[in-house]
Amino acid sequence: MITNAGKSASWLIIFSLVISCGRKLVERTTYFPKRNEMIAGAMNKQNVWVFIMAGQSNMAGRGLVEPQDTIAEKRILTIDKNGQLIIAKEPLHFYEPSLAGLDCGYSFGKTMIKYIPDSISVLLIPTAIGGSSISQWLDDALYRNVKLFSNFRSKAEIGKQYGIIKGILWHQGESDANPNDIPHYQQRLSMLFTRFRSTTGNDHLPVLIGELGLFPKDKENRELINKAIKEYSLQDKNTAVIPTSDLKDRGDSLHFNSKGQRTMGRRFAEMYLRKWPAG
């Protein structure tokens, strides 16, 4: 039999949990942009370099957004959920609003515009969905209310409307880091990237692949995914692998923290500029 004191204690625990969750939500969204800044007037497509962000949660972004991630830069662009061109501010991904956080895109854009001609803008197209496996991408599965490959295709078409697709930023593999999927990962990468390139109309499109973070949890399986990524990249001269073994997690042994996301974005850009200097 539950006493009145017991009931009071239970309600107190529930109330405390609600307050705690509310505080975490406020902290996560504190520096989210309050409004989107639309692009006024048409842009010259030849001067807009488009990069598509794809994969699962570490590309979708789970880092804490801070003021430095929301400083408007007119040469770094993205799209809103309606496909409209806007000034980029983190978070860029909008598919999972209750989980959205800092990704590597804005950092990538900031690094790119330091070294490319002043006439060029960078357009970041978000398509990553947390928790998605590579098989789900290949099967065009409906996952978290998004048809993965169909969404990629439609967003690629939007990118073509605004500019020239120059590359894909890919980070995925945590969902495949298991004994059943690891042996097939390299082959599935090849199949998926072939489809990505066919969709964009460029069979030689650069694909930059981020390694999985080597955090304590499930480290051995993630190392095997990273091995498959490196072995695949040796066979595909239009890919490059971004190291992440030194990056830290946000405390969950799964997702990069904010510093890690910014560092990964910078490394994506530096690798792109080193391997494809002419864009």
pTM of the predicted protein model: 0.91
Q: Which two tokens stand for residue 103?
A: 């990704």
Query: What does the pLDDT average to over 190-213?
Result: 98
pLDDT of residue 5: 52
Six-digit token pair at 98?
């209750």
Tens-digit pLDDT profile for residues 115-133: 999 999 999 999 999 999 9
Lookup: tokens for 204: 């030689």
Pairing of strands 85-87, 76-79: antiparallel
Phi (first) and psi of residue 187, to 5 degrees? -65, -40
Distance CA 168, CA 125 (A): 9
The position carrying tokens 């789900």 is 136
Q: Cβ distance 142 to 129 under 8 Å?
A: no
Of the candidates 83, 87, 129, the residue with the CA atom closest to the CA atom of residue 109: 87
Helix, strand or coil, per DSSP, at residue 131: coil
Q: Taking CA 210 as the corner, what is the angle to CA 209 and CA 216, rounded to the nearest 5 degrees?
A: 145
154: exposed, middle or buried (Cβ count in 10 Å: 0-12, 13-18, 19+): middle
Q: Is the predicted pLDDT of residue 7 greater than 70, yes or no?
A: no
Query: From CA 261, how far away is CA 239, in angstroms rounded?
Result: 20
The whole-number pLDDT of residue 224 equals 98
Across 63-87, average pLDDT: 96
* Residues 93 and 100: beta-carbon distance below 8 Å: yes
Domain 37-275 has CATH 3.40.50.1110: yes
Above 70 in pLDDT, residue 3?
Answer: no
pLDDT of residue 101: 97
Whole-number pLDDT of residue 24: 55
Domain ranges of the chain: 1-30, 37-275
**Average pLDDT of the chain to the nearest whole number:** 92
Contacts of 16 (CB under 8 A, 6+ apart): none
**How is 85-128 classified by DSSP, letter by letter?**
EEE--S----S-TTT--B-SHHHHHHHHHHHS-TT-EEEEEE--
Query: pLDDT of 76-101, one tens digit each?
Result: 999 999 999 999 999 999 999 999 99
